[in-house]
Amino acid sequence: MTDSPVVEEWMVEGELRAGRAYILRVLRSRFDPTPTEDLAASLESVADRAVLDSLLDCALACATIDEFRATLGRTHVISPDSVTTSSSPVLGSAKPVTATYLTLLSLSAKLKYPLMDVVKIIGKEKMISSPMVQEWMEGGELRAERAYVSRVLRSRFDPTSTEDLAASLESVADRAVLDSLLDCALTCATIDEFRAALS
């Protein structure tokens, strides 16, 4: 089922959510946490993983929070695909069982009509409470969090010294562990210090 375009779409949604959170964590670790609060809303409307990746690079390298704000202002785009029509006042956000039925409907419809954007037609907001969707989004978050920890390490240390860590990071399936590894990646003095935390 993970080969499904619908599942992948939800995993990407999870990646975007994790990317936004990691950018804020990096900024809070480098600067006073208070000025980053206003950035959360701006980051919420960034719906492109490549833009989030470059914003993470900026968060790691910028000299001031204002430099990051300026970069965000220049690259800030709202994807047309992320704009959805308002949901029906009757349906709104569906109950988990209904959301699961709608999610199964989207999977079936995508098989029958592969060129149709069934998730957009049904409405993401109606499927978001489905346990299946939540699981897919969490999978996407894990995938993104591993990638961002690697990205932080490559930005701080010689990239060739971090290549062997990718496989070890792939085996980490606990988000709390990944959170602590991100903190370590941001603050460790040497790559060996990170290796010790990873093992």
CA–CA separation, 12 vs 140, rounded Å? 6
Please, which residues have CB within 8 angstroms of residue 87's CB and are 6 or more apart in sequence? 93, 123, 125, 126
CA–CA separation, 140 vs 133, rounded Å? 11
Residue whose token pair is 């300026």: 70
What local confidence, expressed as pLDDT, does residue 156 receive?
92
What local confidence, expressed as pLDDT, does residue 90 receive?
36
DSSP states along 118-144? HHHHH-HHHHTT-HHHHHHHHHHHHHH
Alpha carbons within 13 angstroms on the beta-carbon side of residue 188 total 22
Q: Do 73 and 55 touch, CB atoms closer than 8 A?
A: no
The whole-angstrom distance between residue 195's C-alpha and the CA centroid of its chain comes to: 24
What local confidence, expressed as pLDDT, does residue 14 receive?
92
**% of the chain exceeding 70 in pLDDT:** 86
> What number of other Cβ atoms are within 10 A of residue 11's Cβ?
22
Question: For the chain, how are helix, strand and coil distributed in percent, rounded to 5?
Answer: 70, 0, 30
Q: How many residues does the chain have?
A: 199
User: Tell me: the pLDDT tens digits for 112-132?
Assistant: 888 888 888 888 888 888 888
Which letter does DSSP use for residue 160 in this model? Answer: G
- Indicate the residue type of 130: S
- What pTM, to 2 d.p., does this model score? 0.70
Residue 95, pLDDT above cutoff 80? no
Per-residue tokens: 66: 């204002």
User: Tell me: the pLDDT tens digits for 48-60?
Assistant: 888 999 999 999 9
Please, which residues have CB within 8 angstroms of residue 187's CB and are 6 or more apart in sequence? 29
Residue whose token pair is 């569906």: 94
